[in-house]
Amino acid sequence: MTKAEKAQYVIDELERLYPETPVPLDHTDPYTLLIAVLLSAQCTDERVNKITPSLFKMANNPFDMVKHSVEEIRAIIRPCGLSPSKSKAIHRLSEILIEKYNGEVPQELDLLEELPGVGHKTASVVVAQSFGIPAFPVDTHIHRLMYRWGFTNGKNVVQTERDAKRLFPEDKWNKLHLQIIFYGREYSPARGWNIEKDYISTKIGRKSEINKLLKA
């Protein structure tokens, strides 16, 4: 198979497995998605979804959020980890949204990345899932699978994103990045990787890595 044929195979298989791609983080609008994605750094989506109902009951928009102290925010989000920095970021970015954007979340990637606690991946998720703007957020699942499938050298997530955007059609990016995440969680986890279960990697992945695992 050529690389283009492998890419099409991945697209076809993931569409078969995951025709629907609900966003894993519970949210109601761009602001609540932004906060949920920020909280998900080094925290599972499941844990974030247990915490955000209480947080968003307290404040689900920047105007209400700034009425509460950093300490109040931290008390709720503590189970997510990194709560000191995350609570400060949530409070300050809410202030900035009010000061600069009338309380609205900007759609521009570079403006989002200027907000406290918002990195490139977080900003990419928001523009893709809230505004439908083509983006390819790369998390650990995507980084791992792009390498296992032989689509990138695996050096860093920046290179992985570039390779993904070159390889896959732009109109597929927003859905495909979620499909890859779902596949990684179900078939190709970082720990306890079962090569027989991960059939896409077996079919198109790096031969040296696959052969090494099969001989183990």
Name the average pLDDT for the chain: 92
* Alpha-helical regions (H) of 132-206: 140-148, 157-167, 173-187, 199-204
Average pLDDT over residues 132-158: 91
CB contact set of 22 (below 8 Å; sequence gap of 6+): none
Q: How far is CA 182 from CA 20, 56, 161, in A?
A: 11, 26, 17
**pTM of the entire predicted model:** 0.88
Element (H, E) at 128: helix 120-131
CATH 1.10.340.30 assigned to domain 30-131? The reply is yes
Q: Burial letters for 41-80: b for 16+ Cβ neighbours within 10 Å, e otherwise?
A: bebebeebbebbeebbeebbbbeebbebebeebbebbeeb
Please tell me the predicted confidence (pLDDT) of residue 212. Answer: 62
Catalytic annotation, pick one of 6, 121, 163, 198: 121
For residue 135, the SS3 value is coil
Please tell me the predicted confidence (pLDDT) of residue 84. Answer: 93
pLDDT in tens, 199-211: 999 889 876 666 6
Whole-number Å distance between alpha carbons of 27 and 142: 22
Whole-number Å distance between alpha carbons of 113 and 90: 14
Contact 74, 84 (CB under 8 A): yes
Instruction: Count Cα neighbours of 187 within 13 Å in the Cβ-side half-sphere.
Output: 21
For residue 161 the two structure tokens come to: 């994103």
* pLDDT at residue 144 tops 80: yes
Catalytic annotation, pick one of 139, 165, 175, 203: 139
Ramachandran bin of 42, using left for φ above 0, alpha for ψ from -120 to 50, beta for the remaining angles: left
Residue type, 50: K
Contact 59, 28 (CB under 8 A): no
Q: Where are the domains of the chain?
A: 3-20+137-215, 30-131
pLDDT in tens, 15-50: 999 999 999 999 999 999 999 999 998 889 999 999
Whole-number Å distance between alpha carbons of 137 and 126: 9
User: In percent, how much of the chain has pLDDT > 90?
Assistant: 79
Contact 54, 73 (CB under 8 A): no
Catalytic (active site) residue 139? yes
Under DSSP, the state recorded for 171 is G
Q: Which fold has domain 3-20+137-215?
A: Endonuclease Iii, domain 2 (1.10.1670)
